[in-house]
């Protein structure tokens, strides 16, 4: 099945990376909970006879093509609404247009990471989302919420999964169904290493940005994140200490391949059996479908292990939503489109179902809206590159366990200079967990939070 021509790591780096959260000018000081003016509210939904014209921004690439086809379905449902769907460098353009209020779209795709710090420039959508709130992922609602009000229309959910080589686990006598906790994962890695002394079974990320994003997925499993709803740093906690200690134990036992996501060395380690366990987001499905040749068909997905028996079996790693600028010309019609794409069956089926872009359906995320995630009505097909596994069921079951979170602070990307880099030192054996926590907390507080 065709997969994105741009790996998801690039999308995320564009989303959360250069310029996404490290914004210049007055927005840089706008943290969650600090909106300086009363938000504009949208409270009404146009009917089937709605008429008008809207401009909608999306990123270029395969996802733009997917949404273009889905918008065709919207046009059929609302023939009197003209949609100008434009491919735009959102990371470079959207923030500035929100500040100036000129040449704004009526709606735009945007990253969850940016919404919490931009609420004063967006429509308050709380009343419109209210009918769907109980059936929408708590995580997606929480990252779109500032001061109890919702500013983004939740779209994708990116659950973490455990990717594993079925043949290698079977050869080592490891039952994937028994990998219920992270201690079980260490035990499985030891069994794999016993079978093959050159194995370093667990992937740990060498890129500081992706490494920190991965760390946040593991923290989200435990119901926490780098900052709380008020932007207060909470790295110094039992939850983070548990994760960092587990990482250091895995490193000390020689169970880790420390490599960059899907770069040449990483792919080689996956192909030759050195790596067999990859705790990562659902969008890792790109690898067996597009990049892995020798081991295509041998990889499978399972829920992440839990940090404590009976704990959550997944956490979110990345994600996007839709926003409506507070100075949009036709915000009601933009809402009508996003309601259709996210909450109406013809819309979310058009996005995730089989298309000319993805003949088997879009497999790199699942919808945020619970009725769209029915296990008995998959939106994408079983994946041949995963041995015909029903990835839909694995992903939607995992998504249902993701805990709520907090808005992502405006300084998150810049914190990679401290936490992301220190995490690398931990994986290299050069720092202890408490050192990572103490040094990162002090520098983030002093250089980012206090300055904001």
- What CATH number is associated with residue 417? 3.40.190.10
pLDDT of residue 38: 63
Residues forming beta bridges with residue 323, ordered by sequence position: 108
pLDDT of residue 22: 30
pLDDT of residue 225: 96
CB 396 within 8 A of CB 375: yes
Q: In sequence order, what E strands does 90-217 have?
A: 107-111, 123-124, 145-146, 149-150, 153-154, 156-157, 160-165, 202-205
pLDDT in tens, 324-350: 999 999 999 999 999 999 999 999 999
pLDDT of residue 41: 83
Tell me the C-alpha distance between 125 and 144, whole Å: 10
273 and 352 inside one domain: no
147 and 171 inside one domain: no
- Within-domain flag for 331: yes
Tell me the C-alpha distance between 49 and 215, whole Å: 47
134 and 183 inside one domain: no
341 and 237 inside one domain: no
Residues of the chain with pLDDT under 50: 1-36
310 and 332 inside one domain: no
pLDDT in tens, 220-235: 999 999 999 888 999 9
pLDDT of residue 21: 31
- Within-domain flag for 394: no
37 and 176 inside one domain: no
- Within-domain flag for 63: yes
- Within-domain flag for 395: no
- Within-domain flag for 3: no
Residue with tokens 């989303």: 15
Tell me the C-alpha distance between 116 and 122, whole Å: 10
**Residue 294 CB neighbour total at 10 angstroms:** 12
278 and 427 inside one domain: yes
Tell me the C-alpha distance between 321 and 153, whole Å: 5
Decide which of 332, 366, 381 is a domain's last residue.
381
180 and 312 inside one domain: yes
> Can you give the residue range of the structural domain that contains 308?
160-316+406-449
Residue with tokens 């992301």: 420
Decide which of 381, 396, 427 is a domain's last residue.
381
- Within-domain flag for 375: yes
Tell me the C-alpha distance between 132 and 370, whole Å: 9
169 and 258 inside one domain: yes
In the chain, how many domains are there? 2
24 and 13 inside one domain: yes
- Within-domain flag for 389: no
pLDDT of residue 83: 98
Tell me the C-alpha distance between 154 and 312, whole Å: 21
260 and 145 inside one domain: no
- Give the Å distances, CA to CA, from 105 to 44, 323, 340, 360, 376: 19, 10, 18, 31, 37
152 and 165 inside one domain: no
Tell me the C-alpha distance between 181 and 443, whole Å: 32
- Within-domain flag for 430: yes
């Amino acid at each position: 099945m065709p997969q994105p021509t741009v790996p998801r790591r690039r999308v995320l780096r564009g989303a959360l990376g250069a310029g996404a959260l490290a914004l210049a000018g007055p927005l840089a000081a706008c943290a969650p909970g600090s909106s300086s003016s009363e938000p504009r509210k949208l409270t009404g939904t146009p009917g089937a006879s709605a008429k008008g014209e809207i401009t909608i921004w999306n990123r270029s690439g395969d996802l733009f093509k997917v949404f273009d086809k889905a918008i065709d379905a919207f046009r059929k449902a609302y023939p009197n609404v003209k949609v100008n769907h434009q491919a735009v460098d959102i990371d470079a353009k959207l923030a500035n247009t929100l500040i100036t209020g000129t040449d704004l779209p009526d709606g735009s795709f945007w990253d969850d990471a940016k919404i919490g710090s931009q609420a004063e420039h967006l429509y308050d959508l709380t009343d419109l989302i209210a009918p769907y709130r109980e059936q929408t992922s708590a995580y997606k609602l929480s990252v779109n919420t500032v001061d109890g009000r919702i500013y983004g229309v939740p779209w994708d959910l990116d659950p973490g999964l455990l990717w594993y080589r079925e043949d290698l686990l079977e050869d080592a006598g490891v039952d994937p169904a028994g990998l219920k906790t992270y201690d079980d994962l260490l035990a499985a890695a030891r069994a794999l290493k016993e079978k093959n002394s050159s194995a370093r079974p667990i992937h740990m990320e060498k890129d500081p940005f992706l490494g920190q994003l991965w760390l946040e997925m593991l923290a989200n499993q435990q119901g926490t994140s780098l900052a709380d709803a008020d932007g207060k740093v909470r790295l110094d906690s039992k939850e983070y200490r548990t994760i960092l200690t587990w990482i250091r134990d895995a490193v000390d036992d020689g169970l880790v391949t420390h490599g960059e996501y899907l770069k040449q060395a990483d792919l080689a380690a996956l192909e030759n059996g050195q790596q067999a366990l990859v705790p990562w987001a659902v969008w890792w499905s790109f690898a067996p479908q597009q990049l892995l040749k020798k081991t295509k068909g041998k990889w499978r997905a399972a829920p992440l292990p839990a940090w404590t028996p009976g704990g959550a079996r997944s956490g979110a790693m990345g994600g996007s939503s839709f926003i409506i600028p507070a100075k949009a010309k036709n915000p009601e019609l933009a809402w009508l489109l996003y309601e259709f794409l996210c909450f109406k069956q013809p819309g979310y089926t058009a996005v995730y179902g089989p298309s000319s872009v993805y003949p088997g359906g879009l497999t790199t995320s699942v919808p945020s809206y619970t009725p769209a995630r029915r296990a008995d009505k998959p939106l994408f097909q079983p994946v041949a590159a995963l041995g015909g596994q029903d990835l839909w069921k694995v992903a939607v079951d995992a998504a249902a366990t993701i805990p709520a979170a907090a808005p992502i602070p405006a300084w998150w990307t810049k914190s990679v200079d401290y936490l992301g880099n220190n995490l690398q030192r931990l994986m290299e054996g050069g720092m202890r967990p408490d050192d990572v926590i103490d040094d990162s907390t002090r520098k983030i507080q002093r250089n980012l939070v206090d300055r904001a």
